Structure 1
């Protein structure tokens, strides 16, 4: 991974990017009732995808960050398990993957205007510590979305982590893997040193798509293989 030191030029780029992203997000958010009102689910899908595209454009053209993709980007019903180091990869998913269904904390579905669009787009709400009923609802939603020939995107560590660390995967990941019965494509990504926090650095972000891991493996094996693969860029 290539990074540049943070100087006055990059500080100005960070300010410009954050102004661009948040102002555009607010303005696009105000159009959501129009798109949903006239286009329904298709309108929500369109605005969510354009929002993600807008964010990627700003990262590349304002921050000057190069994005490299290694390996084959999957499509269809598969678990895509990603490393999570910054907000970038969460927002970037509709640009990175072909129409993914995304596991996300339930609080995101309560965000004004954007929450409604996200629900129609296909977010799978994750309610931590809510017991078996919430888990069954999550599995049912994920199965329905995968039957629409969509990849299921998940951050198995559960939250953003510091670059170079290897936390244990959340217990719920192995349970979902077993109950939904899909193969897994692990994805390493190294956004932390460049894009975590307000101040951004210029450099190269790499997505590394690993080999497909088959369904039906024991819990210890699937957790070990996914954990190793998503940490492949921890240098």
Structure 2
């Protein structure tokens, strides 16, 4: 049954995403408000499929504040990358450049305000990330980052990528860490399983800490559900 539900999810979600991308590109001609509504609609469409078709529920412990903060998410699956668009108000999301460069979806993401990061670009990538992050602050938007840099299997707690500390220092924002266990129901591969994804919002961490301290505190907080 899980395999059948997963097949239906893929057959509905991806064609639907194409339609939303076309709508977003049209909406972009009329300013940021319309495109943000389309992207929010796409995320809500995905949430509906996840909860009603795949049978996955979300349990949230804590609240993510609005406004310019740096929200650091654990990264175990694709599902949280889309769910952040509903959990965080009008976020600017930092993600791999390869996703931002894909046809149709890439231009849509860039119009919304996604920051693509090319790891091979080194310092230039970090400068681009910082510039776009400062623009987000000027617009009063939070910045979402997955500080591990890539999805990791359940139980693994790799060190944070150095770009996180650089962005934290450059933006001067407090950090809201978010732990979750999405990988238990959304493993790598085709089949997704019904169940509950727990999310835990950690205590807000102030700006201005030294690199070692901010990395240690964020690392501990986003892995709070790994025990």
**What residue ranges of structure 2 are gaps of 5+ in the alignment?**
none
- Seen in structure 2, the aligned counterparts of structure 1 residues 118 and 179 have a Cα distance that, compared at 3 Å, is same
Deviation string 1:122-164 (CA, Å, 9 cap, x unpaired) is 1112121313233222211101111211111000000000011
**RMSD over aligned Cα atoms:** 1.4
Task: Give 3-state SS (helix, strand or coil) of 1:66's partner.
Answer: strand
Alignment pair present for 1:143 and 2:161: no
Task: Give 3-state SS (helix, strand or coil) of 1:31's partner.
Answer: helix
Q: Please tell me whether the aligned partners of residues 32 and 114 of structure 1 are also in contact (alpha carbons under 8 angstroms).
A: no
Other-structure match for 1:205: 197
Q: Please tell me whether the aligned partners of residues 177 and 215 of structure 1 are also in contact (alpha carbons under 8 angstroms).
A: yes
Task: Give 3-state SS (helix, strand or coil) of 1:225's partner.
Answer: helix
Separation of aligned partners in 1, 2:31 and 2:63: 32
Separation of aligned partners in 2, 1:78 and 1:34: 30
Output the TM-score relative to the length of structure 1. 0.91
Alignment pair present for 1:223 and 2:190: no
CA drift of 1:70 comes to 0.5
Task: Give 3-state SS (helix, strand or coil) of 2:154's partner.
Answer: coil
Alignment pair present for 1:55 and 2:46: yes
Q: How many residues are paired up? A: 226
Deviation string 1:174-232 (CA, Å, 9 cap, x unpaired) is 11111111110100011001012310111100111000001111111111110111011
CA drift of 1:41 comes to 2.9
Output the TM-score relative to the length of structure 2. 0.94
Separation of aligned partners in 2, 1:199 and 1:25: 19
Other-structure match for 2:167: 176
**What residue ranges of structure 1 are gaps of 5+ in the alignment?**
1-8
Alignment pair present for 1:80 and 2:71: yes
Q: Please tell me whether the aligned partners of residues 71 and 142 of structure 2 are also in contact (alpha carbons under 8 angstroms).
A: yes
1:161 alignment partner, one of 135, 152, 156: 152
Separation of aligned partners in 1, 2:147 and 2:25: 32
